[in-house]
Chains A and B, each alone.
Chain A
Amino acid sequence: MSNDILALGPFIAGVLVAIGVLLVDVVAPGKRAPVLVVALGGLAIVAALTITTGSAVAGGNGTAQIHAFGGAYVVDGLTTFLDLIFIGIVALTIVFGPDYLDARGLPLAEFSIVLLFAMTGAMLIAGSADLLVLFIALELMVLPGYMLAGYHKSDGYSTEGAIKYFLLGSFSSAIFLFGLAFVWGTTGTTNIDGVSTALQAIVAGTKAVSPALILGLGFLTTGVAFKIAAVPFHYWTPDAYQGSPTPVTGYLSVGPKIGAFALILRLFVDALGPLRLDWLQVVVVLAILTMTLGNLVALTQNNVKRMLAYSSIAHTGYMLVGLAAFAAGIPLGLQGLLYYGAAYSVMNLGAFAVVAAIQRRAGVTSGLDTFAGLGRREPWLAILMTLFLLSLTGIPPTTGFFGKAMVILAAVQAGQAGYTAVGILAVVAVINAAAAAFYYLRVVVYMFMRDPRSEEVPLAHGRLLWGGLAVASVLTVVLGLVPGPFLTIVNQAAHAIGG
């Protein structure tokens, strides 16, 4: 039992922090400082706990595991790694929130609480060892997301986005659950290791392949593709992203996405691992569609938030390239996927934070025109935005570049190992990266090369925002310039599920 509590420690701590913020808001309603202290301080404790639990588990090579609650929950290198990413994402989102929310009269406390609960859901996904836990965790992660999307409830777009997000999200959850039922029906167990063993028997030919399994696999893929917003299951993203308050959009574009990738790692890589070569083909097609369509549509956007929304679809595609390479038997693919996930979180959150900072005054849109002349008006914001956009484009020496290089290297490796389709993915990915340069750099053009329509005064930004931006930008550069130490961590995490 004590072992169980130890394993679940970080998760419990996360829930406690969320409740703590809730209580603080009851005691001192509407106060900003106590909420931030409890939320950020609490997150620091959760992070410390995650690291201690993780290092207690991970022996030399990170393959050691703790199984808890009768094998329903697992702590291994991957759990620790993903947990830390989720904690970081939520901490940065809370840091970037207050300025924007204040200007629109939206409360900070509820924002933080909902985010913290979403985080616990994502952390639970990362440690799921049972299909049912996996599903509950998924719902725990996405339900707060619907609330966040509609957080600006007096704003029509926010509400519209939230409803679309909610309807399509619940629909996809249902499909996903349906798929799980088929898998359970075929294999007779909900335990991930058990499913994997049962499927191995099927693949080895000792048991027949049932149509139900194929159907289940199809449903699962569809459900997950919705969650990561892979084309052609991406229709909810642009509206949900554009309508949501900007800090929320930043969170939605990384948190649930990385969470859904965690789900993929636990479900497809772990449980459905034996069927790797079957879903590999689907992933290749999804990756090509996702990268290409996401980029093509992003090219035509005039709203930066919407542009970033479509570009986040394209980034999903790059991560799928890593997944495809891993499915083709290249461990580097998984490492690339994990590295890319972390890199993408940092740079995308940074970019959204700048957009949020520019919208400090209520009523300022996120259209391209808002960015005209920013380089003169607020040079530091413009320089940071340029850094994040260059990183998203994949220009060295930023972390975005190194992430792309790793995924592409993995795909090239898979191509040379005989999986030509995955090799072609590498070429598709780089052509897409070049096309993406056009719309990312267009923002830079507006910031530095266009004069503003009207002379606007620079806005004051909180120290918290600058601090968060400093962390994001330093990480963006350092992870790209000296990736060595971080790669060691990534490798340990990847080892946990055979990468």
Chain B
Amino acid sequence: MLLTAVVFLPLVGAVIIGFSPARWARILALATALATWAISLWIAANFHAGIVDTTGKPLLPGSLGGGFQMVEAINWIPIFGIQYKLGIDGLSLALVVLTTTLSWISILASFAPIQTRIKEYMISFLILEVGMTGVFLSLDTFLFYIFWEVVLVPMYLIIGIWGGQNRIYATIKFVLYTLVGSLLMLVAILATAFAYQGAHGGVWAGAFDFEALRAYAGTTGFSDGLQLLAFAAFFLAFAIKVPMFPFHTWLPDAHTEAPTAGSVILAGVLLKLGGYGFIRFSLSLYPEASHTYAPLIIVLSLIAIIYGAIVAMVQPDLKRLVAYSSVSHMGFVTLGVFVFQEQGLDGAVLQMINHGLITGALFLLVGVIYERTHDRTISKMGGLAALTPVYAAVFGFFVFASAGLPGLSGFVGEFLTLLGSFTTNPWVAAVATFVMILAAAYLLWMFQRVVLGEPSAFLLGLKHHLSDMNATEIFTLAPLGALVVVFGLFPGILLNLIRQPVQSTLAAVSNATAIPVDPLFVSIGLGVVAAVIAARLLALRPRGPASGDSTAVTTVEGAAS
């Protein structure tokens, strides 16, 4: 019942808000989110981490543990063997707690910025939370798909109603991109279910049950043709969500236009749905196809890492810069997953959690400055250290965390991913490591332009409107900061939690060893990056300064009008 409670409590809260006066909406939403958070922590307290059986008894080395805990299953649509089945393992637990934490923080952070249609906003946000936790906890592929789509609608409304200037263009783009991917995934889910049903004498029972499907994939295995097609469909859905190059173009627009809290959830949780999907479904259900596609995905990850960093460097807008840095950071996740190696996968999961914490915090911080200046243009900023010292310090902390400073959590994920890639694909690791310098460059350069130096005329002109962070803002960032330090110093907490899911996932794909990536692919990938960037530069030159995506804002406006 605990898992059902954590998924559907926000829905209960949303219904209550719907029938309450609008002035209670904020406090009710926060109370609901905090209660949900408390339940998720209670689940964490009752969860048996490590290689244990479902009662928490440690198992012998070499055993993989009991898998999912607290499983709840009810027959939902018996004709097709579709179940309402929830269960949790270390991977989903980490992501669920991340979701519930970021949810209450986002709701609290929305108190000041959101002044119109508060009731609808809070209801959308709570329904969003239902979808997100549901995705992480579903053990039935059909149920998983439903929660996956449930996420879409509230986010569409959040960007479209409470977003910035070009919100409608951005939100439609977001929905269409996501929907194309997810609908093809639906076909893949149905095809997989039918293949399972066909192999079991036409009996539907288990055809949508993740555990049954995984067991089947681990023994008989799905046919090659189905694997290749289904993997491709799942890949498209997850790659768009992550987002991987070249499916990332919805992300900067969505981030730029979304309200602060929307960006926090988008970066903090929604992008993780893709990473989670890869680890949970793609690898376990289609292990052979995973190996076939791995080189392609590794190259795309590398491109994302490099491209995201380069494009982030030239962004004139703070939010767009953080958005592109997400593309780069999430590239490490897909890279870590598809090297099929324990450190790599560990690193990928850690990177997902840490990116959620750090980028979430960065978006909150951009929101703080935007609340005061109503501007996010980097060139107009400067000298915040003198004007708002607390803000500057907190901002600096998270910028360094994002750049991967050892001792803070951002470092651990990237380091483990690189370590994992190095043992199997040294070339890839070498290129990716080089990019960490780029990451430091764009983040520190941005930090220098915004925070250091003489206060800019624009900021001085704001006078007393430019106050330092208030108590609420510090309160929303404090837990994120604390977790960044804790996970930076003691990554073992998370590693112990995810050991069982990581090892059992690897066991599913380790029948064939990871295929090393040919340097040829790397050079082709680099060639593609060069071509794409060159094409963009050429295409943009007549309209403005030839600097990568810097004129993208005007392009978007042109397209929207």
Contact = CB atoms under 8 A, between A and B. Distances in A.
Interface string B139-170: 00010011001101100110011000001100
A412 B146 contact: no
A409 B146 contact: no
A409 B142 CA distance: 12
A409 B172 contact: no
A395 interface: yes
Interface in B61-120: 76-80
Given A430-B184, A441-B175, A449 B160 contact: yes
A390 B153 contact: yes
Interface stretch (B189-197, B318-326, B379-387): B189-197
Contacts of B193: 409
Question: Chain B at the A interface: mostly helix, strand, loop or mixed?
Answer: helix
Interface string B292-307: 0000000000000000
Contact of B79 (A405, A433, A442, A491): A491
Interface string A425-436: 011001101110
B307 to A, nearest CB: 26
B186 A408 contact: yes
Secondary structure of the A side of the interface? helix
B153 A437 contact: no
B161 A449 contact: yes
A254 B150 CA distance: 27
Nearest to A379: B120
Contact of A431 (B80, B180, B195): B180
A445 B161 CA distance: 8
B187 A426 contact: yes
Contact of B153 (A395, A409, A433): A395
Contacts of A396: 145-146, 149-150
B183 interface: yes
Contacts of A405: 142, 186, 190
B176 interface: yes
A441 B155 CA distance: 13
B44 interface: no
A487 B75 CA distance: 14
Contacts of A491: 79
Contacts of A484: 76-79
A449 B191 CA distance: 38
Interface in A387-410: 390, 394-397, 401, 405, 408-409
B179 interface: yes
B58 interface: no
Contacts of A431: 180, 183-184
A415 B230 CA distance: 14
Nearest to B75: A484
A434 B176 contact: yes
Contacts of B145: 396
Contacts of B176: 434-435, 437-438
A181 to B, nearest CB: 42
A438 B168 CA distance: 11
A434 B236 CA distance: 14
A448 interface: yes
Interface string B198-226: 10000000000000000000000000001
Contacts of B168: 445, 449
Nearest to A390: B153
A413 B195 CA distance: 9
A19 B190 CA distance: 49
A416 interface: yes
A488 B149 contact: no
Given A395-B152, A397-B150, A448-B160, A437 B187 contact: no
A483 interface: yes
A445 B76 contact: no
A433 B176 CA distance: 10
A430 B186 contact: yes
Interface of B: 76-80, 142, 145-146, 149-150, 152-153, 156-157, 160-161, 167-168, 171-172, 175-176, 179-180, 183-184, 186-187, 190-191, 193-195, 198, 226
Interface of A: 390, 394-397, 401, 405, 408-409, 412-413, 415-416, 426-427, 430-431, 433-435, 437-438, 441-442, 444-445, 448-449, 482-484, 487-488, 491
Closest CB pairs A-B (n = 5): A430-B183, A396-B146, A434-B179, A409-B190, A434-B180
11 contacts: A396-B150, A405-B186, A412-B187, A412-B194, A416-B195, A426-B190, A431-B184, A434-B176, A438-B176, A442-B172, A484-B76
